[in-house]
Structure 1
Amino acid sequence: MTVTILRAGPLTVLKDRGRPGHAGQGVAPSGAVDRSAYARANALVGNPPGAAALECTLGGLRVRFDEPAVAVLAGTDAVLSVGGNRAGVEEVVEIPAGAEVTVTMPRRGLRSYLAVRGGFAVAEVLGSRSTDRLVGPPRPAAGDVLPIGALPPQHGEIPPLGSTGDGPRLGDGPWEVDLGPRDDWFTASAVATFLSAEYTVSPAGDSVGLRLTGPALSRSRTAELPSEGVVRGAVQVPPDGQPIVFQADHPVTGGYPVIAVLTPAAADRAAQARPGAKVRFVVAAARLID
């Protein structure tokens, strides 16, 4: 069973749970940028956790299924169209052989996940099928033929056709963070500003990091910080004082202080933030309890 890419849209990549454990080789963990939407798409079609899906930024994807298949689209309010028939939000659909499937541009959100029952079975690179610009596998392009795998026989009950999820969970509320590990490198007023001011998502961002514009955050220390490991959701502040939120394809080390780290749920919400979005940071509620 295969899928032929007819049009890749602005940015379509393969994503799974990523390739952790290779930071010593300078390889980012990668994986789906919105992990909850990716996991939900796989669950809706009955795939085991970790199956590869297509992550479509701003839609525009058009593919042809060469054999019958079952698929779903999750993550945004983009529409999955099968042979001209529009599916409902996160509706699991049966796709006939030869049918063309398109993903529209979402009105809200940024990244949609097209999951196919069986997952996309391209060859793994360092234990993962997630696209990485340095190590591969390459971004799908027009004319590429992607194989679809088979569900393992021990997998659980297959969800029925037409089942739906709860819809996109884009999360318009504040992004919850844990302060640190380098919040002490900033003045008290800078930390207070970080937790009260509104920031705007800049167009100069991608799956590596979101650049934000707003009140500059001033340091309490002028020394250089040695490079140290960073994680998804880390909020790094370079010398201009404008925060950068690291996403799935972040580097393995950073040279500027990290004032806070987004919670996993907030990092998923950040994955859906479009340029121009207004965001705020708050300390995670659980951390406010003595």
Structure 2
Amino acid sequence: MLIFIERVGPLATVQDLGRQGWFDSGVGQAGAADRGSLRLANRLVGNPEDFAAIEVLLGGLVLRADGHLTVAVTGAPAPALIDGTPVGHASVLELNEGQVLELGLATSGLRSYVAIRGGIDVAKVLGSRSRDTLSGIGPDPLVAGMQVAIGPPPRTLPTVEFAPVPLPPDVLEVRACPGPRADWFTDPGQLFRGSWVVTADTDRVGARLDRLDGPPLVRSIARELPSEGVALGSVQVPPNGQPVVFLADHPITGGYPVIAVVLDADVDRVAQARPGERLKFVISAADSGARA
């Protein structure tokens, strides 16, 4: 079974849940930036949660079915149409041979996920079908004219027709713990006061932030660090005082101090924050006694 890519928007890549166990070789995990939305899309079509799907930046994807397909679109709510007829978000969709699925511009969020029953069947690289945009590892981004193979359908069947998804809040609250280099700043608690705004310089590597109210973060130690390991969700602060929240394709080492680490459960939400949206850091319950 194949799908034919007729059009793409700003970026469309194949993603699963990433490649594990290669940090010691200098290879990051990559995978879906919003793992929860990928898992949901796969569950809706009856796939195992780690099957590969298409991650679509802001919408604009158009694909045509080579045969009968069971499809779901989750994540950023891009309007979906089958042969021009609107269909539901986060619901089970059926395409017959020759029918076209089109995604419009997402009304909120950044990344939509298109899962197809059987999964995207491209070659694995180091155990994963994910595209790592930082290193260039994995399948090439999708382009118009490409044919993409679909794997055999699993034995499990879809068990629901749609999944209710809450609307995003006006201000995204993100839980975080103080990081290993919080003491490199004159007032590390400043991160948790006031609001930040997501800048246009944001991608799968990291969400870059600017201060919406109040002064930028100021270091108490001027020298730079030797490179050290950084985790998914690390909030790294370059000399300009504007933090970066590391996302799926982040480097595995870095030389700027990590002032905080976003809880794993909230990283997916940061990955859906689009430029101009407001973000507020909240100290996690485990660290409620920390200075803020």
Say yes or no: TM over 0.5: yes
Q: How does 1:164-183 map to 2 (within 5 A)?
A: 164-167=162-165, 170-171=168-169, 172-183=171-182
Percentage identity across aligned positions? Answer: 44
- CA offset at residue 152 of structure 1? 3.7
SS in 1 for 2:59: coil
1:168 & 1:75 partners in 2: Cα distance?
A: 11
1:217 & 1:226 partners in 2: Cα distance?
A: 20
Q: How does 1:68-87 map to 2 (within 5 A)?
A: 68-87=68-87
| Unmatched runs of 5 consecutive residues or more in structure 1 | none
Is 239-248 or 125-134 further displaced after alignment?
125-134
- CA offset at residue 168 of structure 1? 5.0
Aligned to 1:208: 205
1:266 & 1:60 partners in 2: Cα distance?
A: 26
RMSD (CA atoms): 1.6
TM-score norm. by structure 1 comes to 0.93
Given that residues 40 and 49 in structure 2 are in contact (C-alpha distance below 8 angstroms), is that contact kept between their aligned partners in structure 1?
Answer: no
- CA offset at residue 93 of structure 1? 1.0
**Superposed CA offset, 1:125-167 (max 9, x none):** 11111112422211111111111112344xx44325xx11122
Question: Structure 2 vs 1, CA of residues 84 and 53 (structure 1 numbering), >3 Å: closer, same or farther?
Answer: same
Equivalent residues, number:
284
Is 25-34 or 51-60 further displaced after alignment?
25-34
Q: What letter matches 1:193 in structure 2?
A: Q
1:7 & 1:79 partners in 2: Cα distance?
A: 15
Q: What letter matches 2:163 in structure 1?
A: G
- CA offset at residue 210 of structure 1? 1.2
Q: What letter matches 1:203 in structure 2?
A: A
TM-score norm. by structure 2 comes to 0.93
Is 230-239 or 217-226 further displaced after alignment?
217-226
| Unmatched runs of 5 consecutive residues or more in structure 2 | none
**Superposed CA offset, 1:56-104 (max 9, x none):** 0110000101100100100122122111111112110111111111111
SS in 2 for 1:174: strand
1:56 & 1:279 partners in 2: Cα distance?
A: 23
- CA offset at residue 31 of structure 1? 0.3
Q: How does 1:116-265 map to 2 (within 5 A)?
A: 116-133=116-133, 134-153=136-155, 156-160=156-160, 163-167=161-165, 170-171=168-169, 172-187=171-186, 189=187, 191-214=188-211, 215-265=215-265
Q: What letter matches 1:175 in structure 2?
A: V
